[in-house]
Amino acid sequence: MSLFWRIFGLNALVLGAATALLLWAPVTVSVPVLLTEAVILVLGLAVMLVANAALLRIGLAPLDRLTRLMASVDLLRPGQRLPVAGHGGVAELIRTFNSMLDRLETERATSSARALSAQEAERRRIAQELHDEVGQSMTAVLLGLKRAADRAPESLRPELQQAQEITRESLDEVRRLARRLRPGVLEDLGLISALTALTNEFTTHTGLKVTRHFDADLPPLEPQAELVLYRVAHEGLTNVARHAEAEHAELSLRRSADRLVLCVSDDGHGGGIVREGAGIRGMRERALLVGGSLDIVPGAGRGTRVSLSVPAAAAAKDTDHA
Protein backbone atom coordinates (compact mmCIF):
# COMPACT_ATOMS: atom_id res chain seq x y z
CA MET A 1 0.00 0.00 0.00
CA SER A 2 1.37 3.42 -0.91
CA LEU A 3 1.84 6.07 1.74
CA PHE A 4 -1.11 8.09 0.37
CA TRP A 5 -3.56 5.21 0.61
CA ARG A 6 -2.17 4.16 3.98
CA ILE A 7 -2.88 7.61 5.48
CA PHE A 8 -6.23 7.79 3.67
CA GLY A 9 -7.21 4.39 5.01
CA LEU A 10 -6.27 5.26 8.59
CA ASN A 11 -8.28 8.48 8.50
CA ALA A 12 -11.21 6.72 6.83
CA LEU A 13 -11.18 4.11 9.58
CA VAL A 14 -11.36 6.75 12.30
CA LEU A 15 -14.05 8.81 10.55
CA GLY A 16 -16.07 5.70 9.76
CA ALA A 17 -15.97 4.61 13.40
CA ALA A 18 -17.08 8.09 14.50
CA THR A 19 -19.94 8.10 11.97
CA ALA A 20 -21.12 4.67 13.07
CA LEU A 21 -21.04 5.79 16.69
CA LEU A 22 -23.20 8.82 15.86
CA LEU A 23 -25.69 6.72 13.87
CA TRP A 24 -26.28 4.04 16.48
CA ALA A 25 -25.61 5.89 19.72
CA PRO A 26 -28.71 7.18 21.58
CA VAL A 27 -27.43 10.75 21.49
CA THR A 28 -29.25 13.80 20.15
CA VAL A 29 -28.16 17.38 19.69
CA SER A 30 -30.51 20.15 20.72
CA VAL A 31 -30.73 23.69 19.44
CA PRO A 32 -29.28 25.49 21.28
CA VAL A 33 -26.74 22.85 22.36
CA LEU A 34 -26.99 21.75 25.96
CA LEU A 35 -23.90 21.63 28.18
CA THR A 36 -23.98 17.83 28.55
CA GLU A 37 -24.30 17.41 24.78
CA ALA A 38 -21.34 19.76 24.20
CA VAL A 39 -19.23 17.77 26.68
CA ILE A 40 -20.09 14.53 24.89
CA LEU A 41 -19.23 16.02 21.49
CA VAL A 42 -15.87 17.35 22.74
CA LEU A 43 -15.03 14.01 24.34
CA GLY A 44 -15.91 12.24 21.10
CA LEU A 45 -13.71 14.61 19.11
CA ALA A 46 -10.85 14.04 21.55
CA VAL A 47 -11.21 10.27 21.28
CA MET A 48 -11.26 10.52 17.48
CA LEU A 49 -8.11 12.68 17.40
CA VAL A 50 -6.25 10.39 19.81
CA ALA A 51 -7.22 7.30 17.79
CA ASN A 52 -6.18 9.03 14.56
CA ALA A 53 -2.81 10.08 16.05
CA ALA A 54 -2.13 6.58 17.38
CA LEU A 55 -2.91 4.93 14.05
CA LEU A 56 -0.83 7.46 12.13
CA ARG A 57 2.11 6.94 14.50
CA ILE A 58 1.93 3.19 13.87
CA GLY A 59 1.60 3.66 10.14
CA LEU A 60 4.45 6.18 9.85
CA ALA A 61 6.82 4.45 12.31
CA PRO A 62 9.03 3.09 9.46
CA LEU A 63 9.58 6.65 8.23
CA ASP A 64 10.62 7.75 11.72
CA ARG A 65 13.17 4.91 11.88
CA LEU A 66 14.43 5.87 8.43
CA THR A 67 14.81 9.52 9.48
CA ARG A 68 16.81 8.57 12.58
CA LEU A 69 19.10 6.33 10.55
CA MET A 70 19.62 9.01 7.91
CA ALA A 71 20.65 11.47 10.65
CA SER A 72 23.11 9.09 12.32
CA VAL A 73 24.51 6.91 9.52
CA ASP A 74 28.32 6.82 9.25
CA LEU A 75 29.99 5.21 6.24
CA LEU A 76 32.98 4.32 8.43
CA ARG A 77 30.67 2.02 10.43
CA PRO A 78 29.23 -0.14 7.64
CA GLY A 79 26.26 -2.44 7.95
CA GLN A 80 23.70 0.04 9.30
CA ARG A 81 20.49 -1.04 7.59
CA LEU A 82 16.74 -1.03 8.24
CA PRO A 83 14.71 -4.25 8.00
CA VAL A 84 12.27 -4.28 5.08
CA ALA A 85 8.85 -5.93 5.19
CA GLY A 86 6.11 -5.79 2.57
CA HIS A 87 5.99 -4.26 -0.89
CA GLY A 88 4.37 -0.85 -0.40
CA GLY A 89 5.73 2.61 -0.97
CA VAL A 90 7.38 2.87 2.45
CA ALA A 91 9.04 -0.54 2.07
CA GLU A 92 10.30 0.45 -1.37
CA LEU A 93 11.69 3.71 0.05
CA ILE A 94 13.58 1.82 2.78
CA ARG A 95 14.81 -0.75 0.27
CA THR A 96 16.09 2.06 -1.99
CA PHE A 97 17.83 3.75 0.94
CA ASN A 98 19.55 0.49 1.90
CA SER A 99 20.73 0.06 -1.69
CA MET A 100 22.05 3.61 -1.69
CA LEU A 101 24.04 2.85 1.48
CA ASP A 102 25.49 -0.25 -0.22
CA ARG A 103 26.68 1.85 -3.16
CA LEU A 104 28.06 4.63 -0.96
CA GLU A 105 29.97 2.20 1.27
CA THR A 106 31.45 0.46 -1.77
CA GLU A 107 32.46 3.76 -3.36
CA ARG A 108 33.88 5.03 -0.05
CA ALA A 109 35.93 1.87 0.41
CA THR A 110 37.25 2.07 -3.16
CA SER A 111 38.18 5.75 -2.94
CA SER A 112 39.75 5.28 0.49
CA ALA A 113 41.82 2.39 -0.83
CA ARG A 114 43.11 4.54 -3.69
CA ALA A 115 43.85 7.47 -1.37
CA LEU A 116 45.65 5.36 1.22
CA SER A 117 47.61 3.56 -1.49
CA ALA A 118 48.73 6.91 -2.89
CA GLN A 119 49.58 8.07 0.63
CA GLU A 120 51.75 5.02 1.28
CA ALA A 121 53.51 5.48 -2.08
CA GLU A 122 54.21 9.12 -1.23
CA ARG A 123 55.52 8.10 2.20
CA ARG A 124 57.87 5.60 0.60
CA ARG A 125 59.12 8.24 -1.82
CA ILE A 126 59.75 10.81 0.92
CA ALA A 127 61.42 8.22 3.14
CA GLN A 128 63.68 7.18 0.29
CA GLU A 129 64.65 10.79 -0.39
CA LEU A 130 65.30 11.43 3.30
CA HIS A 131 67.51 8.37 3.47
CA ASP A 132 69.34 8.80 0.17
CA GLU A 133 69.55 12.58 -0.22
CA VAL A 134 69.25 14.26 3.17
CA GLY A 135 70.84 11.41 5.11
CA GLN A 136 73.86 11.16 2.83
CA SER A 137 74.33 14.95 2.75
CA MET A 138 74.26 15.15 6.53
CA THR A 139 76.67 12.23 6.74
CA ALA A 140 79.05 14.12 4.45
CA VAL A 141 78.69 17.23 6.62
CA LEU A 142 79.42 15.15 9.71
CA LEU A 143 82.59 13.71 8.17
CA GLY A 144 83.69 17.18 7.06
CA LEU A 145 83.20 18.52 10.58
CA LYS A 146 85.28 15.67 11.97
CA ARG A 147 88.15 16.40 9.58
CA ALA A 148 87.91 20.09 10.40
CA ALA A 149 87.93 19.36 14.13
CA ASP A 150 91.02 17.18 13.75
CA ARG A 151 92.92 19.97 11.97
CA ALA A 152 91.53 22.96 13.89
CA PRO A 153 93.34 24.74 16.69
CA GLU A 154 92.58 23.60 20.21
CA SER A 155 90.45 26.68 20.90
CA LEU A 156 88.01 25.87 18.04
CA ARG A 157 87.63 22.16 18.66
CA PRO A 158 84.87 22.39 21.32
CA GLU A 159 82.65 24.38 18.97
CA LEU A 160 83.29 22.02 16.06
CA GLN A 161 82.62 19.01 18.28
CA GLN A 162 79.34 20.60 19.39
CA ALA A 163 78.40 21.12 15.74
CA GLN A 164 79.25 17.45 15.14
CA GLU A 165 76.95 16.38 17.96
CA ILE A 166 74.09 18.53 16.69
CA THR A 167 74.55 17.16 13.17
CA ARG A 168 74.66 13.59 14.50
CA GLU A 169 71.42 14.11 16.45
CA SER A 170 69.78 15.64 13.39
CA LEU A 171 70.92 12.69 11.28
CA ASP A 172 69.41 10.27 13.82
CA GLU A 173 66.14 12.23 13.71
CA VAL A 174 66.07 12.11 9.91
CA ARG A 175 66.62 8.36 9.98
CA ARG A 176 63.90 7.96 12.60
CA LEU A 177 61.47 9.94 10.47
CA ALA A 178 62.35 7.82 7.46
CA ARG A 179 61.65 4.64 9.46
CA ARG A 180 58.28 6.02 10.58
CA LEU A 181 57.33 6.91 7.02
CA ARG A 182 58.48 3.59 5.61
CA PRO A 183 58.92 0.88 8.25
CA GLY A 184 61.60 -1.20 6.57
CA VAL A 185 61.64 -3.68 9.45
CA LEU A 186 58.01 -4.51 8.58
CA GLU A 187 58.98 -5.51 5.05
CA ASP A 188 62.20 -7.27 6.07
CA LEU A 189 61.36 -9.04 9.35
CA GLY A 190 57.57 -9.08 9.60
CA LEU A 191 54.84 -7.62 11.78
CA ILE A 192 55.93 -8.87 15.20
CA SER A 193 59.46 -7.48 14.82
CA ALA A 194 58.05 -4.18 13.53
CA LEU A 195 55.66 -3.87 16.50
CA THR A 196 58.47 -4.72 18.90
CA ALA A 197 60.69 -2.03 17.39
CA LEU A 198 57.77 0.42 17.52
CA THR A 199 57.17 -0.10 21.24
CA ASN A 200 60.90 0.20 21.97
CA GLU A 201 61.01 3.47 20.04
CA PHE A 202 58.06 4.92 21.96
CA THR A 203 59.60 3.92 25.28
CA THR A 204 62.91 5.53 24.32
CA HIS A 205 61.59 8.81 22.90
CA THR A 206 58.47 9.46 25.01
CA GLY A 207 59.22 7.79 28.33
CA LEU A 208 55.95 5.85 28.03
CA LYS A 209 56.33 2.34 29.35
CA VAL A 210 54.86 -0.04 26.76
CA THR A 211 54.36 -3.75 27.38
CA ARG A 212 53.74 -6.28 24.62
CA HIS A 213 51.65 -9.44 24.39
CA PHE A 214 51.73 -11.40 21.11
CA ASP A 215 50.20 -14.84 20.59
CA ALA A 216 52.59 -17.47 19.32
CA ASP A 217 50.23 -19.12 16.78
CA LEU A 218 49.43 -16.08 14.65
CA PRO A 219 48.61 -16.90 11.01
CA PRO A 220 50.58 -15.43 8.09
CA LEU A 221 49.28 -12.08 6.87
CA GLU A 222 49.18 -10.37 3.53
CA PRO A 223 51.34 -7.20 3.29
CA GLN A 224 48.36 -4.86 3.26
CA ALA A 225 46.93 -6.37 6.45
CA GLU A 226 50.31 -6.13 8.17
CA LEU A 227 50.61 -2.48 7.15
CA VAL A 228 47.10 -1.70 8.45
CA LEU A 229 47.84 -3.34 11.80
CA TYR A 230 51.16 -1.51 12.07
CA ARG A 231 49.69 1.90 11.19
CA VAL A 232 46.80 1.49 13.65
CA ALA A 233 49.24 0.44 16.40
CA HIS A 234 51.44 3.46 15.63
CA GLU A 235 48.50 5.88 15.61
CA GLY A 236 47.10 4.38 18.81
CA LEU A 237 50.40 4.72 20.68
CA THR A 238 50.85 8.24 19.31
CA ASN A 239 47.43 9.25 20.68
CA VAL A 240 48.32 7.76 24.07
CA ALA A 241 51.61 9.67 24.20
CA ARG A 242 50.04 12.96 23.10
CA HIS A 243 46.65 13.06 24.80
CA ALA A 244 46.15 10.39 27.46
CA GLU A 245 48.70 11.59 30.04
CA ALA A 246 49.34 7.93 30.73
CA GLU A 247 52.28 6.26 32.42
CA HIS A 248 51.79 2.82 30.96
CA ALA A 249 50.41 1.40 27.72
CA GLU A 250 49.90 -2.13 26.48
CA LEU A 251 50.05 -3.42 22.92
CA SER A 252 48.66 -6.88 22.19
CA LEU A 253 48.00 -8.98 19.12
CA ARG A 254 45.92 -12.08 19.70
CA ARG A 255 43.96 -14.63 17.74
CA SER A 256 40.28 -14.94 18.66
CA ALA A 257 38.45 -17.67 16.70
CA ASP A 258 38.74 -16.64 13.04
CA ARG A 259 39.90 -13.07 13.73
CA LEU A 260 43.05 -11.25 14.73
CA VAL A 261 42.58 -8.59 17.40
CA LEU A 262 45.08 -5.77 17.92
CA CYS A 263 44.58 -3.79 21.15
CA VAL A 264 46.23 -0.59 22.37
CA SER A 265 45.23 0.25 25.96
CA ASP A 266 46.49 2.80 28.48
CA ASP A 267 46.01 3.94 32.06
CA GLY A 268 45.37 7.59 31.18
CA HIS A 269 42.39 9.80 31.85
CA GLY A 270 40.43 9.14 28.65
CA GLY A 271 37.93 6.65 30.07
CA GLY A 272 36.89 5.62 26.56
CA ILE A 273 35.51 9.09 25.75
CA VAL A 274 37.42 10.13 22.64
CA ARG A 275 36.72 12.91 20.18
CA GLU A 276 37.11 11.32 16.79
CA GLY A 277 39.49 13.47 14.80
CA ALA A 278 41.34 12.79 11.58
CA GLY A 279 43.62 10.22 13.21
CA ILE A 280 40.85 7.94 14.46
CA ARG A 281 38.82 8.31 11.27
CA GLY A 282 41.97 7.37 9.36
CA MET A 283 42.26 4.23 11.49
CA ARG A 284 38.64 3.35 10.70
CA GLU A 285 39.29 3.80 6.97
CA ARG A 286 42.34 1.54 7.16
CA ALA A 287 40.33 -1.08 9.04
CA LEU A 288 37.72 -1.15 6.26
CA LEU A 289 40.44 -1.89 3.68
CA VAL A 290 40.97 -5.37 5.16
CA GLY A 291 37.37 -6.01 6.22
CA GLY A 292 38.07 -5.12 9.84
CA SER A 293 36.35 -3.04 12.48
CA LEU A 294 37.68 -0.53 15.01
CA ASP A 295 36.23 -0.07 18.50
CA ILE A 296 37.15 2.49 21.16
CA VAL A 297 35.93 1.59 24.64
CA PRO A 298 36.92 2.27 28.27
CA GLY A 299 39.88 0.21 29.44
CA ALA A 300 40.02 -2.08 32.43
CA GLY A 301 40.97 0.85 34.67
CA ARG A 302 40.45 4.51 33.88
CA GLY A 303 42.10 4.55 30.48
CA THR A 304 41.01 3.80 26.93
CA ARG A 305 41.31 0.72 24.75
CA VAL A 306 41.51 0.87 20.96
CA SER A 307 40.71 -2.50 19.41
CA LEU A 308 41.13 -3.48 15.75
CA SER A 309 39.57 -6.77 14.68
CA VAL A 310 40.65 -8.25 11.33
CA PRO A 311 39.41 -11.48 9.69
CA ALA A 312 42.31 -13.91 9.89
CA ALA A 313 41.22 -15.92 6.84
CA ALA A 314 40.84 -12.81 4.70
CA ALA A 315 44.16 -11.45 5.88
CA ALA A 316 46.03 -14.53 4.78
CA LYS A 317 44.35 -15.11 1.41
CA ASP A 318 47.10 -13.55 -0.69
CA THR A 319 49.78 -15.47 1.22
CA ASP A 320 48.07 -18.76 0.33
CA HIS A 321 48.45 -17.96 -3.38
CA ALA A 322 52.11 -17.01 -3.09
For residue 253, CA distances in Å to 86, 168, 236, 241, 285 come to 45, 35, 13, 20, 20
Collapse the DSSP code of 78 into the 3-class scheme (helix H, G, I; strand E, B; otherwise coil) and give the result: coil
Per-residue pLDDT for 161 more than 80? yes
Highest mean pLDDT among 9-13, 46-50, 160-164, 267-271: 160-164
Residues 6+ apart with CB under 8 A from 13: 55
Q: Which pLDDT value is given to residue 86?
A: 67
State the Cα–Cα distance between residues 39 and 113, nearest whole angstrom: 69
What backbone phi and psi angles, to 5 degrees, belong to 54?
Answer: -65, -45
Q: Which pLDDT value is given to residue 251?
A: 92
Nearest Cα to 312, choosing from 181, 207, 218?
A: 218
State the Cα–Cα distance between residues 178 and 123, nearest whole angstrom: 9
For residue 277, CA distances in Å to 123, 281, 290 come to 21, 6, 21
pTM confidence score: 0.64
Rounded to 10 deg, the angle between the 157-181 and 89-129 helix axes is 150
80-132 pLDDT tens trace: 787 777 666 777 788 888 888 888 878 877 777 787 778 777 877 887 788 77
- Please compute, for residue 155, the number of CA atoms within 13 A of its CA located in the half-sphere on the CB side: 0
Residues 6+ apart with CB under 8 A from 314: 225, 290, 291
Fold of the CATH domain 183-322: Heat Shock Protein 90 (3.30.565)
Q: Where does CATH 3.30.565.10 sit in the chain?
A: 183-322
Q: Which pLDDT value is given to residue 252?
A: 92
